[in-house]
A and B are shown apart, each in its own frame.
Chain A
Amino acid sequence: MTKKYEFTVNGRPVSVSLDNEEAPLLNVLRNNLGLMGTRFGCGLEQCGCCMVLIDGAPEKSCSKPVWSIIGKSVTTVEGLGTPEHPHPLQQAFIDEQAGQCGYCLAGILISAQALLARNPSPTRSEIAQALDDNICRCGSHNRIIRAIEKAAARMGAGAIS
């Protein structure tokens, strides 16, 4: 039976019709809305590849039934910035060449954004701890941490000036 689900994605209201009420948000983002930045890694809420912001809070989207986010606001990596207008985190990731295969990065950028929203100048160990829900198998960890430090410094400086 087809049902309609309405919520907001990257500031835009969306309405999707689904036959399968079990559909997790991740599948809806990728298969119904064509937003491929949020990635499948495990489907078990263990790796963080599928991380999105739901009403500003970082959440794994792979096991989140779509009915549970009706009326809520979802931000994906595509909502952070664009090549023309990169988010400071995205710019810092490029500057630090933070990534190897890059599969983990979208989820990590979302976790980092959530961290900086609640703690604008985190220490190295606070950053590391905030990312413990995200797995990076390629070993890009130190570059990622450096990029987040750099973005935090720039955003902090921006806020003051």
Chain B
Amino acid sequence: MNTPVMNTPALPGPLADNPRLERWVTFPAPGKVIVGTGRVELGQGVLTAMTQIAADELDVAMERITIRSGDTEFTPNEGYTAGSQSIQFGGVAMRQACADVRSLFIDQAARVLGCKTSELSICDGGILHNGVPTGQDYWTLAGAVDLAAEATGGGKRKTVADFNVIGRSSARLDLPAKIFGAAVFIHDLVLDGMLHARVVRQPNRGATIDAIDERAIKRAAKAPVEFVRNGNFLAIVGADETAVDLAGAAAAKYVIWQHVETPTPLQAEASWLRQRPVIDRIIGAPEPADPQGRVRFESTYTRGYLAHASISPSCGLALYHDGRLTVWTHCQGVFPLRAALARTLSLDASAITVHHVQGSGCYGHNGADDAAADAAIIAMKMPGVPIRVRWRREEEFVYEPKSPAMVVKVRALLDDAGKPADWSAEIWSGTHNYRPGAGGNLLGAQALPNPPPEPPPGDVPESHGGGATRNGEPLYDIAHKRIIHHLVTETPVRTSALRGLGAMPNVFAIECAIDELAERAGQDPVQYRLSITVDPRARAVIEKVAAMAGWEAGESGGAGRGRGIAFARYKSRAAYAAVVVALDVEETIRLRHVWCATDAGLVVNPDGVINQLEGGIIQSASWVLKEQVRFDDGVSSFDWETYPVLKFSEVPEIDIALINTKDEVPLGVGEVTAGPTAAAIGNAVSHALGARIRDLPLTRERIMATLLKE
């Protein structure tokens, strides 16, 4: 049998998955364009960038475009908005969809006007013939162009030289409403007849309700509330939000649970992972048994559990009516959530609609999916009544999935020049992927009668950049590299995706180790890195950031003042970033200045990219200086006092340079600075103290202990 010969170019993945053009672009009314994207706004500015992309490829003004995002009814299914992939993949799909649409309209215009397509162009939606307006435009032709057609990839995307909108800074479309205090967040959504709800959380899977003092809880509410119960899932529902809040707080005392498990302080430490059951694998060739006379270097680095600590607790709304469930959520993937809800509630996915509404920044898999599921579970018990669940602050901290603690042990064999010839990273970590789309259970589902089984242990596959192994391998020119991955199969708390997944602890380990090796070799950290790097884009960001920071080789540290550098290419295949940090250390660390050079390929919205890079640097600095989820008779980091984050007066000044913005492929930047910032701080602290701290966070206690040892 002959295979048919295809001449059309391969469609970008998300477009191949969602080929009907009307999911991407429609022309609903004269002068108006609706663009659909499966990616959702998480505060990263993705909808502004997508609007820029569509405006450029369609040749219409940005103002004409309304963007629809993350909606199981209307938009393409692009899985999760995560991993800094929205623009890299979703953006290219959007470009191609728009180019295909544009070319269908040019073809139709040529037929109507009786001319060649090569004589036609488009300016703000109007068709020009040899540069002269023809009276035809997208909207006059729309009736004759069938956008239910599938994309072919036949439309020619613009080249970088032809871009008018892509590559220029555009003000964020969503910011003004937020600055004027408009109702834009899911928390602001009010549905007719809506009731407020709070969940009395099951402390852990397997815990069962022993007793409920309903009268005491109702008394505490000071206004009418009702209980909704399904197995060990218990919620308090009422018209008055204050009442459900008061009742929810009282429930801590008046609902008694059995089979409660509480994690201990020891379990909060990464080192605890070393003694746990694991699933092992090696990525790369096995480690040589004999160092063959070469010097062996070994060093171990750790990081504790982190919280996403979104500024707002999660929120979800749901309505079950006439056999249909409608859910409003700020989660990162409406289609995977729909599938998980269908599983959990024994509904057909086609009977569920999930709408995305913006929440506060989430930085990964926080409580958003679970809050939506809570609302859905309650709504199923109260048909016809819209239910709004908003988690309490403590609930978000205690029950959101955490970023897993990690241990990273680096081993290297050094050549005569003190450069690594063989490199191993041995990694212990829980999973970085308990997303509903990866089979993870929705939190409320665990409390239902016959809770679904736990999914088999796993982590993000290497094809998706890896989870604990993400950035586990240095980009440097080292003849033999490998990762030994110990997936810890049970952790004391649920763990899942946080900004960069394993990249932060891994880059911290690698880049601190590289500094340790440079010091052994008696070389400057910048020079040493350059001496083992051929990739020109990597060299460029390292050289650029060194120049920005006025880096001088051999500058002596000590006396509490230090500076450090670090570098990584995110996932070893996405954006490049190098970071220099200048800081002072006394009992605590004061960040003075951070410089960052990034190569993110084609940049759609330069100011938007810089904004995200700054955010990534500050968040990483906060993780490194302050953050660890503690356990003490349960999760004892439950508010902003027990889980402090970087304050305004602790934030350093930041300078950012974007280089090589001419490239064709855009590379996401939300996660690229996390690792380099962490390691540059670690290296700067070592430069300042003359001693190294290998365990994160770099707390006052650890600094004092290090100083005392010296």
- Interfacial residues, chain A to chain B (CB-CB below 8 A): 19-24, 27, 30-31, 35-44, 46-47, 49, 76-78, 81-83, 86, 90, 93-94, 97, 99-106, 109, 125, 127-129, 131-132, 134-145
Contact = CB atoms under 8 A, between A and B. Distances in A.
B175 interface: yes
A23 B240 CA distance: 9
A107 B546 CA distance: 38
Contacts of A46: 393, 639-641
A36 B405 CA distance: 37
B230 to A, nearest CB: 26
Given A20-B246, A46-B641, A134-B648, 8 more contacts: A23-B240, A42-B639, A102-B43, A137-B309, A137-B361, A141-B651, A142-B618, A142-B651
A77 B180 contact: yes
16 contacts: A20-B223, A27-B241, A36-B188, A41-B312, A41-B393, A42-B313, A42-B639, A49-B312, A86-B180, A103-B361, A109-B179, A125-B649, A135-B640, A137-B310, A139-B619, A141-B646
Interface string B177-204: 0111111110110000000000000000
Interface string B239-262: 011110110000000000000000
Nearest to A145: B648
B172 A97 contact: yes
Interface stretch (B344-352, B407-415, B609-617): B609-617
A103 B648 contact: no
Interface string B604-642: 000110011011111100100000000000000001110
A80 B365 CA distance: 35
Given A101-B360, A128-B651, A129-B649, A93 B179 contact: yes
B242 A82 contact: no
B653 A142 contact: yes
A61 B637 CA distance: 24
Contact of A139 (B175, B187, B188, B616): B616
B143 to A, nearest CB: 35
B424 interface: no
Contacts of B310: 137
A36 B359 CA distance: 13
Contact of A78 (B171, B181, B313, B639): B181
B177 to A, nearest CB: 8
Contact of A138 (B361, B607, B640): B361
B176 interface: yes
A142 B180 contact: no
A100 B611 contact: yes
A15 B473 CA distance: 64
Name which of B182, B311, B646 has the most chain A CB atoms within 10 A of its CB.
Answer: B311
Given A22-B242, A138-B43, A35 B649 contact: no
B101 interface: no
Nearest to A84: B180
Given A20-B243, A142-B653, A102 B175 contact: yes
B390 interface: yes
Nearest to A42: B393
Given A31-B241, A35-B181, A137 B645 contact: yes
Contacts of B654: 142
Q: Is the interface of B mostly helix, strand, loop or mixed?
A: loop
B617 A139 contact: yes
A20 B239 CA distance: 11
Contacts of A137: 309-311, 360-361, 363, 619, 645
A142 B652 CA distance: 8
B206 to A, nearest CB: 29
A102 B640 CA distance: 19
A53 to B, nearest CB: 13
A97 B609 CA distance: 12
Contact of A100 (B179, B180, B222, B612): B612
A143 B312 contact: no
Nearest to B397: A42
B392 interface: yes
B646 to A, nearest CB: 8
Contacts of A125: 649
Contacts of B312: 39-41, 49, 103
Nearest to B652: A142
A146 to B, nearest CB: 10
Q: Which 9 A-B pairs have the closest CB atoms?
A: A37-B181, A101-B43, A102-B178, A139-B618, A139-B615, A103-B360, A77-B181, A101-B361, A36-B183
B358 interface: yes
A46 B175 CA distance: 24
B651 A41 contact: no
Contact of A135 (B185, B241, B311, B390): B311
B514 interface: no
B497 interface: no
B44 interface: yes
A128 B5 CA distance: 64
A56 B454 CA distance: 54
Nearest to A108: B648
B392 A47 contact: no
B42 interface: yes
Nearest to B673: A139
Contact of B614 (A27, A30, A76, A143): A143
B311 to A, nearest CB: 4
A39 B182 CA distance: 11
B545 to A, nearest CB: 18
Contacts of B611: 97, 100, 140, 143
A18 B345 CA distance: 37
